[in-house]
Amino acid sequence: MSTPIPARSPIQPIFLALILLHGIFFLASVLGFVIFQSSLDNEFTKLAREQFFLFILAQNAKLMFGYALISFVHLLILYPLLDRFSRRTGWRGWRIGAATAGISLALTILVGIGVATLRPYTLAGPYARIYWSFKSVTPSPLREILFSQALYWTLIVLTLVFLVIEYTNRLRTARRGIQFGSIIGLLAALMIGTLPLLSTSAGGATSDEPNPRPNILILGGDSLRGDRLSCNGYARPTSPQIDALAAEGMNFSRCLTPIASTMEGWLSLLTGQYPHTHGLRHMFPSRQETVRVARNSVLLPRILKRAGYDTIAVSDWAGNNFRHIDYGFETVKVRHVQNFRVFLTEAISACHPLILAYFQNSIGQKVFPELEVLSSNRSPDQVTNQVIEEIDRSSSRNRPFFMIGFYSSTHLPYSSKYPYFDLFTDPDYEGPNQTELDFKIDEFITKGFRKKLSTEEIEHIRGLYDGTVRLVDDQIKRVINHLRDKKLLENTIVVITSDHGDDLYEPGTTLGHGISFNGGDQTSHIPLIIRFPEKIPTGQTYPRLTRAIDLAPTLLECLDLPIPPEMEGISLVPTFEPDSDSSRDLGLIFHGETSYLFFRHDIPGERMLPLDTLDKTTEIDPDFDHNLVLSDEARKLMLASKERCIRTEDWKLVHTRGQGYDIYRLWNLENDPHCENNLAKDPRYHDTLERLKGWLERWKNREGEIRIYRDGRTEWVDSSTKRMTRPR
């Protein structure tokens, strides 16, 4: 005897159960945000509560629609299953509702595990800890299955096949009007049909006629350290593609940036000027400061635009400085500036894991454009895709391009996808920093990074960093292969570089950059590799000091364009000569300064200038898109508390202002590469100290800089006339 068929469709209890379940999720997420905000004790959270309450309310309200969409997706998947189940068992009402809630909850957990497995670089905060804790306690045989990427791709495909078959059959067997199944099928068809409209496609065929000038492509990662590349002697195989480019061009293996901060560092790269010349000396400029520095007449993108180049910047959140300041690029495809509203959006979204699981992708950003600002919401693959699209677009117009492709992966928190976070880390590690650095934002704002970590923890963090270097290297490989396939590589000057390096718990440091010159060159040392077959013989290395400010004049000379006298860097083209010694002596030395000090570093035995924390030194400017702006008083203290550095091949001197006196530290780099033994008070090095102090002081006063040659000659380069004289 057949089971009686329920008189009514189970659609109503299924629908109500899903709305109730996801309503509870929404309220729990809002409560989580309230608790999170209440746990913080800094000026930013007070400001958010007092002045941005309506914004926070509106952002949470918008996300309610996302929970409704999730309910609809679950309804689409569960209705056919529960309809059949209801007909077989006779269950109705609360029983079907309870079954719906249980299966939907299980599906949510499965989706969460799947997203974390397929895109682990989106994990952050407590959700990352929950995921890794759950994975660590899962029995080994089950772990291999449950956390397998193949499992989730298979489930996605099977679910799509099931839905197509199920709703096609329901439409085929419909006996009257437009039933529920046909409505769902129609909506699903509309969703699938509009997917092509939600993404952009690469276009344009490459012209066979060569560009009149070579293209210029600068590729790199934020915080990419020069000393972590295999071609510069690093033991791990972090950079096979970059190594190949170095073998085909010139590797300037000791290139240093004058300021280890993204916005200011890029401005030095693109103007060939020191920060005290181009005028941007910290990362929280006012609107007036951004307008002033954007008028700089020697910005490389503006010069090349006048020469007929398409000028393009492509990046994720690391390149938002290209939006913050007008460097002169015609096309800017980067993430939004991380203003205070963006910070709040990040904080709100982090408390809605269900929204992130379902909508933190390119299609989800069409539904919720505000999610586009999330720092984790643009993968390195997307950056590469856009670089390739812009290459094709320019080449189809037969125009040379000057393009920057800039990746954030190598920046804190060293987030990467599988398998990169596993490449150089211990598989048995079970600490808090599984796939990325785990730190609490309130603790960072008020105290900085933890000063003491175990050796195991430090090595794991370094391994995570090395994995991100390999990730960026693989993205660079994709771009290079595309240039080769399009027959553009031989007519493109390829540059590998960065804005700055990073501290990785070297002596006297923790993490970050731009804070001090402690520990060695790690925050100043950037890659500089130039591949240009027309002018550079293969496989050369220049091992002596060069500077980031030398790149812009070098590129201009490569293009036979005049070098503006306002550029303080020099062209490195003389080192390209095929008959010259690859270690040709240019006599260059390094001058640098620190940036905004997020947290004070202490010098043992010295009284440092007092510094307030980030939340007390910056203001929110509502007339400048709610950007963080350094207060006038804090700006004066920032300039006073900057460290200045002069570095020759063998010596390094750092000047720091103490409370009412000057602090000098002197290191011999040949014997002390990590700057652990201060020789400034050793009478044996008094003459060296005084000589370097004099040179550093004159550079600080913008009088010029010294050249020191291996044969003992020294020359002074006047900053205004560029004439060389014997130094005083």
Q: What residue ranges define each of the domains in the chain, with the CATH number in brackets?
A: 11-198 (no CATH), 215-337+355-585 (3.40.720.10), 614-725 (3.30.1120.10)
- How high is the pLDDT of residue 6? 44
> Does the pLDDT at position 176 exceed 50?
no
Of 178-192, 356-370, 455-469, minimum mean pLDDT range: 178-192
**What distance in Å separates the CA atoms of residue 323 and residue 473, rounded to the nearest whole number?**
25
Read off the DSSP letter of residue 509.
Answer: -
Of 11-20, 246-255, 338-347, minimum mean pLDDT range: 338-347
- State what percent of residues in the chain have pLDDT above 70: 88
- How high is the pLDDT of residue 112? 82
Mean pLDDT of 373-402: 87
- How high is the pLDDT of residue 583? 54
**What distance in Å separates the CA atoms of residue 545 and residue 552, rounded to the nearest whole number?**
16
> Does the pLDDT at position 15 exceed 60?
yes
Q: 200 to each of 362, 386, 464, 475, 597, how far by Cα in Å?
A: 10, 9, 32, 19, 40
Q: Which residues contact 174 (CB under 8 A, 6 or more apart)?
A: 181, 182
Neighbour order of strands in the sheet with 714-718: 704-708, 714-718, 724-725
> Does the pLDDT at position 694 exceed 50?
yes
If you average pLDDT over every residue of the chain, what do you get? 86
Of 116-125, 229-238, 696-705, minimum mean pLDDT range: 116-125
Mean pLDDT of 378-384: 85
Of 196-200, 203-207, 474-478, minimum mean pLDDT range: 196-200
**What distance in Å separates the CA atoms of residue 514 and residue 284, rounded to the nearest whole number?**
14
Describe the crossing of helices 455-485 and 380-396 by its angle, rounded to 10 degrees: 20
**How does residue 127 score in pLDDT terms, banded at 50, 70 and 90?**
low
Residue spans of beta strands (DSSP E) within 622-660:
627-630, 644-647, 651-657
Read off the DSSP letter of residue 608.
Answer: B
Mean pLDDT of 157-177: 75
- How high is the pLDDT of residue 211? 58
- Report which secondary-structure segment, H or E, holds 581: none
Assess whether the previous peptide bond of 413 is cis (omega < 30° from 0).
Answer: yes
Assess whether the previous peptide bond of 212 is cis (omega < 30° from 0).
Answer: no
- Report which secondary-structure segment, H or E, holds 529: strand 529-531
List the structure tokens of 98: 């309870």
Q: How many CB atoms lie within 10 A of CB 602?
A: 11
List the structure tokens of 390: 């812009």
CA nearest to 600, candidates 578, 585, 617, 619: 617
Mean pLDDT of 145-174: 81
Phi, psi for 552 (deg, rounded to 5): -60, -50
Q: Which residues of 428-439 are buried (b: 16+ CB within 10 A; e: fewer)?
A: eeeeebbbbbbb
- How high is the pLDDT of residue 44? 80
Phi, psi for 81 (deg, rounded to 5): -65, -50
Q: Which residues contact 287 (CB under 8 A, 6 or more apart)?
A: 621, 623, 624, 627, 629
> Does the pLDDT at position 5 exceed 50?
no
- How high is the pLDDT of residue 207? 46
Q: Which residues contact 190 (CB under 8 A, 6 or more apart)?
A: none
Of 58-72, 481-495, 555-569, minimum mean pLDDT range: 58-72
- pLDDT tens-place string over residues 406-454: 999 999 999 887 789 889 999 889 888 888 888 776 677 667 788 889 9
Of 52-61, 126-135, 501-510, minimum mean pLDDT range: 126-135
- pLDDT tens-place string over residues 335-355: 877 788 888 888 888 788 888
Mean pLDDT of 98-103: 92
Mean pLDDT of 287-298: 94
Mean pLDDT of 492-512: 96
Mean pLDDT of 612-637: 88
- How high is the pLDDT of residue 8? 65
Residue spans of beta strands (DSSP E) within 205-318:
215-221, 250-256, 310-315
Read off the DSSP letter of residue 658.
Answer: B
Of 235-249, 663-677, 713-727, minimum mean pLDDT range: 713-727
List the structure tokens of 636: 């004066």
- How high is the pLDDT of residue 411? 93
**pTM of the entire predicted model:** 0.84
List the structure tokens of 578: 């095929």
**How does residue 109 score in pLDDT terms, banded at 50, 70 and 90?**
confident
